[in-house]
Structure 1
């Protein structure tokens, strides 16, 4: 019995030594082992050939300069650096140089691609100006350089990103693209996030939504403008775009309409918002076909910025890039492409500069008080914004529905 126990202990010790040696191995070696022993078996089971797999990762090493990586064996930490627009003043996202460039570029291309855009709208129900705004925002109408090797980015992130499971699906989808002949290996260039082509699709989005609009027998989101425009519209249609509805309207929300009423889960008929005193900044009534449909309050900077009543189409735009500011940018730029330049009527105020860790701490404090903030991720989304507003109102403060330095101190 003692011999058996000694042998068992020795065996366990050997296993621990083996694990320690793996953990201590250079990241490049761990990556190659992961490719061979973990990713390849699943890729093979999904129909990827060894030739395709080996070509995809030939010479590829993990790119440790990419954001949101976790060194194997370590726990993820909430970064203090600010990479997202929400961490600073939301108004900075709408710099006129950026919005004006997309707007002017979209108008310049609207006539040249009028026939394609009309066919796109007929097939998918998505207005041309919205499609043009996404095309311009995502890739500068195809002019933006894609300097990264997609398999380097996706492989690195599938191996060691904070969202490994998501990127594992994407790298497997990228392998499927090459295996099926949708694109050649050498053409798999991407952004730092692994997004591809002029619409900046992740590989799963390419497989699900890319379409052949020019009739050459293949969906080419790298070189074909018709395929690019059609693929963008198809993505939106698949995510629930409602033909005939707008994306939303800038409004004036009076003080009696709490900013804590924001969110896609607190809908009212637009006529009911109007009855509460919410009115369009243009002075025009809400369109008759919208008045008896559902709308939602959006205040991306709380009381320190413009307010909007948005439709379900706004949240379809948000599906394209999970940011309220992104969806608002596209809707706003689309309006300017369609109707001419007109900025927001409401002013974007300055906000306190906060680190992501500051906001995460504030979110955890609100969670401890029973609020649903959508997770303590350091992102002030609508659930965090309205929770702030509710807490402020209950504690004798004027609701602003946006984080600030004083609020961070008060909730510590």
Structure 2
């Protein structure tokens, strides 16, 4: 019996080795037959191409891959912090420490930041907050070979075409002389340097602010901060406006009014009874301008009146929690305190659970955007609309109880 078990294990192991070899052979053929002709067509030399992929193998341990033979499915778990519990994301001890470090960075680089604000119109605390979130103010390790990551994902990821474009852009960065192939270090998702730019964003938006002739977002703080500011300004940042305000939203104001497509003068929200938690009035220039109701945890967390600048931050990372983290951290650097509202823990659903709930809402005629398992504003307000129609308390948030009720 033991001999049979050993033989079976050996056979399975050999099968695994063969499958791995097939993946690597397919990867090399993909690079040569698919990527090289496209790279050559946009001016990448063979020398650059060979330097980029010397010794590179497909890294099948990277997340979010579609390996041969795997069935396509929605992941049951949320790997990125931005799509997990707000309670953990806004841990107060970590937030306070990050803000304190941010204030020190604002002081240390005050001269550079003042020049960046003058050129790009983006407040220094917002820029520094992005820097802090993306790379711990430059302290985070960026360990991956960008060509290994991007090549693997262009070959095996679920979003192959997106990563293919990023891979070609990475090759062009080396061809342009910004960095050598060996210097191209990235995150597991292929994002580059301290601001974590994808290669296409680097080519379009990174700047040389220290005047050394190179756009060095790995080692230069001025280049890093100015590149972040340029990204936000080119994404539509409106100088002179805040990102938003924590607010009290009375029950008479429906949480289904949330969303960037339902903007109205902030004065309208104030007239409906929405007030700032600080007790201060909304600034006069903001009262006349457009605001948006924002309830990133439905009725289970703090509420906000966001400005269009909040959605500019989302251009950097398309997550409500990410943009809120940046805005709140910037406020803390400027002397603000913790959130007034409480992020209440709710018996959680997995990403797969939320996707199935979204499908049930779509079947009933509600617009959730894309049923991807992420509770974005369209999903939140559709939940609220369903709850109101069903005579249930309107929470605008996916819960186990709601999932059970909708089966």
Common fold by TM > 0.5:
yes
CA offsets per residue over residues 270-321 of structure 1, 9 Å max, x none? Answer: 0001001000001100000100000000000000000000000000101111
Deviation of 1:88 (Å): 4.2
- Alpha-carbon RMSD across the aligned residues, in angstroms, is 1.5
Deviation of 1:82 (Å): 2.8
Distance in structure 2 (CA, Å) of the matches to 1:295 and 1:377: 27
| Alignment of structure 1 residues 215-226 onto 2, 5 Å | 215-226=211-222
CA offsets per residue over residues 81-119 of structure 1, 9 Å max, x none? Answer: 231346543221111233223211110011221111111
Residue 31 of structure 1: aligned partner = 27
Residue 12 of structure 2: aligned partner = none
Distance in structure 2 (CA, Å) of the matches to 1:43 and 1:213: 29
Residue 404 of structure 1: aligned partner = 399
CA offsets per residue over residues 234-268 of structure 1, 9 Å max, x none? Answer: 00000000000000000000001001111000001
Q: Which residue of the other structure, out of 72, 85, 92, is the alignment partner of 1:89?
A: 85
Task: Work out whether 1:364 is the aligned partner of 2:345.
Answer: no
Q: Which residue of the other structure, out of 109, 113, 137, is the alignment partner of 2:109?
A: 113
Deviation of 1:23 (Å): 9.4
Residue 78 of structure 1: aligned partner = 74
TM-score, scaled relative to structure 1: 0.92
Distance in structure 2 (CA, Å) of the matches to 1:81 and 1:366: 21
Residue 342 of structure 2: aligned partner = 347
Deviation of 1:75 (Å): 3.6
| Alignment of structure 1 residues 316-395 onto 2, 5 Å | 316-338=312-334, 340-395=335-390
Deviation of 1:411 (Å): 1.7
Task: Work out whether 1:296 is the aligned partner of 2:297.
Answer: no
Contact 1:154 1:170 in 2 (8 A): yes
CA offsets per residue over residues 12-42 of structure 1, 9 Å max, x none? Answer: xxxxxxxxxx999711111111111111111
Distance in structure 2 (CA, Å) of the matches to 1:372 and 1:345: 31
Task: Work out whether 1:146 is the aligned partner of 2:145.
Answer: no
Question: Can you give the 5+ residue segments of structure 2 that lack an aligned partner in the other structure?
Answer: 1-17
Task: Work out whether 1:41 is the aligned partner of 2:1.
Answer: no
TM-score, scaled relative to structure 2: 0.93
* Residue aligned with 1:26, SS: helix
* Residue aligned with 2:67, SS: coil
Alignment length (residue pairs): 390
Q: 1:296 to 1:341 in 2, by over 3 A?
A: closer
Contact 1:106 1:133 in 2 (8 A): yes
Distance in structure 1 (CA, Å) of the matches to 2:29 and 2:355: 35
Residue 245 of structure 1: aligned partner = 241
Distance in structure 2 (CA, Å) of the matches to 1:24 and 1:136: 38
Residue 104 of structure 1: aligned partner = 100
CA offsets per residue over residues 157-201 of structure 1, 9 Å max, x none? Answer: 111111111111111110000011011111111111111111111
Contact 2:83 2:319 in 1 (8 A): no
Distance in structure 1 (CA, Å) of the matches to 2:21 and 2:214: 43
Distance in structure 1 (CA, Å) of the matches to 2:81 and 2:178: 34
Distance in structure 1 (CA, Å) of the matches to 2:297 and 2:373: 15
